[in-house]
Structure 1
Amino acid sequence: MERMMHARPLPARRAHPLRIALIGCGPRGLAAAEMALDQMPSCRITIFDPSATPAAGPNYAPEESPHCLLNLRAEEVTLPFPERISFSDWIAQTSAPGPTAEDYPPRRRMGQYLQARFTALQQAHPGAIRHHRQIATNATRDAAGWWIETHAGAYGPYDELVLTMGQPVTRADPTWASWRAQAAACGALMATAYPGHALQRKARGWAGKTVALRGLGLAALDVVALLTLGQGGQMAGGRYLRSGREPARILPFSLDGVPPLPKPARTLQPRFALRDAETAQLHAAIARALTLDPDAAMDDIAQALEAPARRISGAAPTDWLRIERDSPGAQDAGRTPRDILREGIEMAAGCRPAGVGYCIGQIWRSLQPALRRSFLTADSRPDTRAAVLAFDRGLKRLTYGPPLGSARLLLALVQDGLVQLTLADDPAIRLTAQGWALDRDTQATVMIDAVLPPPRLDRIDDPLITALLREGGLREAPATGGIDVDATGCAAPGLTVLGRMTEGRSIAADSLLDCYGAMTRAWAERLALPPAQPRPAAENQHA
């Protein structure tokens, strides 16, 4: 049978339960399944995901290293349907002496919790969920509905196709691809940050080597822990004690050489709390700004941030905000990455008054739920969305910081001399016969990539997304180059995309909490609207 995209009208929907094909099942896939079954207990969901551990996804894999930590405290993970047991309660019930609700648990504990929720969902809805451990390579549609192709055959029909695959397969950027092509010839080694447990094993053979680490975000802090604590090192009294199995040097590099600053200690969080009137004013300002042109929008947001930032920090924030809009992080020009990190730790621990930038970062973090809601529903110009996205992205170094303990480990390693924070631009780094030359005196024989690819369609190499693009089912979002969707994730009739590839319609979609956010709920509510006509029955496989 020939199945061409949009060849016939969508299948009618009345006589039979809604049939959903879910492509990818990490935390967002689990959230979609939970919300769909909450809205429509009669629906039937078929998952296509090669993982043996659905719901956890690669970021929270149960086999992940214990040194890869959440950057949320257990009690901050507030997901819907808490009657199934909250994460903090589950941690308390399933932990021997170890992580408590006060700690930042290992990410693998989150994966175990998500798996427990998946099992509970299956038990609450017997027969509602099927899981094919296969990769979807194509999707076509005919009068009966969607057909999902894998190497094992074609499955279907389905009424709704939902892409919840997280970060799809992506082509390497030109610099990384060039390095990879040259590395084998000179004996240099290349690796990626994740899976962390695999990197930790590889690093057992890197004692005495110089390791370069591309990127200085949260993933880089995971890598640093894997190369040190993961090789038997320890922290004691604020100092790092070497095991002798670590690399000789670790060189994380980025354009500014500055890592994200840690979140404040739990006892300090009330210092950064907004008053009710401030919260209302900021929510209104964000909603209003998204209806304006880019300059006016950023003026409104900056003006709304000034009063609470001045109250909390005790300093005038106007100049800091002006610089941040044009050149994020330029306020720290002339200061060493080591000093910036040390002062960030002191602010997070309460040993130093919090500066304007640090306070604005905490304020912005508290505004994330309102920002996501407004961004989703606002009728905004693409350039306005792009401006707000850029501002949010620049503040991530202050809003999405690591646990205080992770930052202290990094500083201890810098003080020990094992880690050197480095300013470097990818194109300026040369791969020579001796390895990567970060500067005139620094050579590395191992390169680790800790940079998350941008959510852009022109970088995607996933066969399913490529096929849907080719057939016209997906379009590029003008603001970001991601996938164009509406507020419910709808990319085309019967085709939904949820997650980071929708950046432009969504914002800050990388967050675990966003998996259960407004777009996923809006999608489930849309599907629960009264159907129009009967739909044909029975899922089949054509091998």
Structure 2
Amino acid sequence: MPGPEHIALIGCGFAGTSALFQLVDRYPVKRITVFEASGTFGPGYPYKTDECPDYLINNTTDTMCLVPENKQAFINWLRDTGAAGEIDEKGHLPRALYGEFLENVVRTARTIAAIKGIHLDLIPAEATGLKETGAGVEIAYPGGMVAADAVLLTTGRCPDLDRFGALVGDTHGFYPTHVSAKDLDAIALDAAVYVLGTSLSAYDIVNRLYAPGTGCAFERRADGILSFVPGPNNRRVVLGSRGGRLKKMQSLRPMAINRKHFTLAEFRRVAGEQGGLSLDALAGMIRAEADRHGADIDWHRIVDPYAECHDGDALNARAGDILADDITGARGGGTGNFLVDMFSDAQLDIWDGFAERLMTPEAEKRYRAEMETAFLTFGAPCPVPTAERLLALHEAGVLTVRAGVEPPQVTDDGSGFSVGHRFGEDRADVVIDASGGVNRMVHDPGQSTLTADLARSGLMRGYELAGEQMPGADIDMETFRLRGARNVYACNMWLWGPGFFTSSAYLMASFARRILERLYMS
């Protein structure tokens, strides 16, 4: 099995750790160099080991993989090490604990490399530039230069979008991110807090604002419903976004899915017959699959969850009803959470459908602009325990949901913020941006030093769709190679553009596997 002798990985969060382990475990590589700007190898951005313990892993404990063929790697490690005590397989442990697992994987990979005679360098520095040569790729970093045969970009996140910095970036009480923001815990217990976005990060923030350490509690009533006991915590929180759509939940008992209509083979067949997949054709496949599985879907609520809501109170009440119904569906098994279960089962087929450009350009552009956010409420769901807390806070009247939210404005007296929404305006003492926006435009001046260098040299180009620049990079989706390069491969968020949403650990581990298989079989 021939292949490159020296592989460089740029970034060592989940994707880099998975690629590193797979390299030393399966492939005849002789040297591996890993760059990690933070100096901490393994956890990356989402799984920092010193992060707030109230930030939970979105997927259940028994599905967290490291390699695609074993989705139970994390739970096996927990059992063997006793790192979490008694384990609820369908529970959701702190993200920081998964970070500890990833750090352990890097140490294990280092040991395996030593046993196999693989030379492994872990360089705690940022790679700042790449230059392709006849022999491979030269990687520049503040400490010098390393030459490798091939490079995998496993850097994870693109830079955060700076949506409001020019307006309120220097104003006390505005938080452009919640990650590693230790002073979030110091927010006054009587503060009015506006959380921008209904992303998974937004839910993490709510968990943190009402953590047990603040003196409040969540108690299970006799009927099984969670209730909120505020204690000294008198914070009021608004979850506000443009659409106001709330995340669906991971099923506690996923139903068995046997897809016939929503499959890669059907995507290919229909695309071949019709000259490309349309959104109507895809919707028909989803409906046919729901009928096949006996699932009764409220399509009107999916299309417009707040139809006929004529004021803020009605919209907020509808949000509470949706939360309650979705929790029931996620807890109950059967068809109650069918779309979440089906999209989870189909995620690799969806990815391959995007990668093969089976959608018409018009359909893809419309999906990206109008439907991707709604789809990801099902495709990237939240834990049931998190949703139960949100519902308890909502029923207690301390959590409000808004839609049609506008950019925050500093009040005239500078004491806080005003935030407009579909039916009026709210005042807040604190604003936290959790809209989840990242900058995926290759040629934007806000990109990292490495991306700017790749774009300037022509090794990375922006993804184009029907002549229009789109988020993401131009990548050969069969090999994952940057189209402007010969030996540089993407296994990170730059794939989200030409490909489907890429935050799933299973997908990222699968991409690392595909890249390495092609490298060592070519």
Report the TM-score, using the length of structure 2 for normalisation. Answer: 0.84
SS for the counterpart of 1:421 is strand
Which residue, 493, 496, 508 being the options, matches 2:489?
A: 496
Aligned partner of 1:359: which letter?
A: F
CA contact (8 A) 1:28 1:499 kept: yes
1:467 aligns with 2:453: yes
CA contact (8 A) 1:91 1:100 kept: no
Q: 1:4 is matched with which residue? A: none
Q: 2:223 is matched with which residue? A: none
1:194 aligns with 2:179: yes
Aligned partner of 2:175: which letter?
A: M
Q: 2:519 is matched with which residue? A: 527
CA contact (8 A) 2:32 2:121 kept: yes
- Aligned partners of 1:434 and 1:32: how far apart in 2? 49
1:442 aligns with 2:416: no
Q: Per-residue deviation at 1:382?
A: 4.1
SS for the counterpart of 1:302 is helix
Q: Give matches, 1:280-319, under 5 Å.
A: 282-289=263-270, 296-312=277-293, 315=296
Aligned partner of 1:150: which letter?
A: Y
- Aligned partners of 2:44 and 2:287: how far apart in 1? 39
Which residue, 197, 221, 231 being the options, matches 1:215?
A: 197
- Aligned partners of 2:519 and 2:436: how far apart in 1? 32
Q: Per-residue deviation at 1:384?
A: 4.5
Q: Give matches, 1:126-525, under 5 Å.
A: 126=114, 127-152=118-143, 154-173=144-163, 176-181=164-169, 183-184=170-171, 187-195=172-180, 198-199=181-182, 201-229=183-211, 231-237=214-220, 238-244=226-232, 246=233, 248-266=235-253, 269-270=254-255, 273-275=256-258, 278-279=259-260, 282-289=263-270, 296-312=277-293, 315=296, 320=300, 328-330=303-305, 332=307, 334=309, 336-350=318-332, 358-378=337-357, 381-387=360-366, 391=371, 393-427=373-407, 429-432=408-411, 433-439=414-420, 442-454=426-438, 455-459=440-444, 460-479=446-465, 480-486=470-476, 487-491=478-482, 492-517=485-510, 519-525=511-517
CA contact (8 A) 1:211 1:251 kept: yes
Aligned partner of 1:233: which letter?
A: C
SS for the counterpart of 2:105 is helix
Q: 2:109 is matched with which residue? A: 121
CA contact (8 A) 1:215 1:450 kept: yes
SS for the counterpart of 1:45 is strand
CA 291–24 in structure 1, closer or farther in 2 if over 3 Å, else same: farther
- Aligned partners of 2:236 and 2:509: how far apart in 1? 40
CA 374–314 in structure 1, closer or farther in 2 if over 3 Å, else same: closer
Q: Per-residue deviation at 1:287?
A: 3.2
CA 47–226 in structure 1, closer or farther in 2 if over 3 Å, else same: same
Aligned partner of 1:457: which letter?
A: V
CA 383–250 in structure 1, closer or farther in 2 if over 3 Å, else same: same
* TM-align CA RMSD: 3.0
- Aligned partners of 2:362 and 2:30: how far apart in 1? 39
Could you list the per-position Cα deviations for residues 201-233 of structure 1 after superposition, in whole angstroms to 9, with x for gaps in the alignment? 432242222111110111111000011115342
- Aligned partners of 2:71 and 2:385: how far apart in 1? 31
Q: Per-residue deviation at 1:122?
A: 1.4
SS for the counterpart of 1:146 is strand
Percent same amino acid among aligned pairs? 21
Could you list the per-position Cα deviations for residues 358-415 of structure 1 after superposition, in whole angstroms to 9, with x for gaps in the alignment? 5334322221122223333456654444455565542221232211111110011112
Mean CA deviation greater in 93-102 or 256-265: 93-102
SS for the counterpart of 1:134 is coil
Aligned residues: 489
CA contact (8 A) 1:235 1:409 kept: yes
Q: Per-residue deviation at 1:290?
A: 5.2
Report the TM-score, using the length of structure 1 for normalisation. Answer: 0.81
Q: Give the gaps of 5 or more residues in structure 1.
A: 1-13, 531-543
Q: 1:57 is matched with which residue? A: 44
CA 97–29 in structure 1, closer or farther in 2 if over 3 Å, else same: closer
CA contact (8 A) 1:286 1:371 kept: no
1:104 aligns with 2:92: yes
- Aligned partners of 1:43 and 1:483: how far apart in 2? 30
1:26 aligns with 2:13: yes
Could you list the per-position Cα deviations for residues 165-190 of structure 1 after superposition, in whole angstroms to 9, with x for gaps in the alignment? 111334513xx123334x43xx4432
Q: Per-residue deviation at 1:523?
A: 1.4
Higher helix share: 1
CA 308–189 in structure 1, closer or farther in 2 if over 3 Å, else same: closer
Mean CA deviation greater in 410-419 or 93-102: 93-102
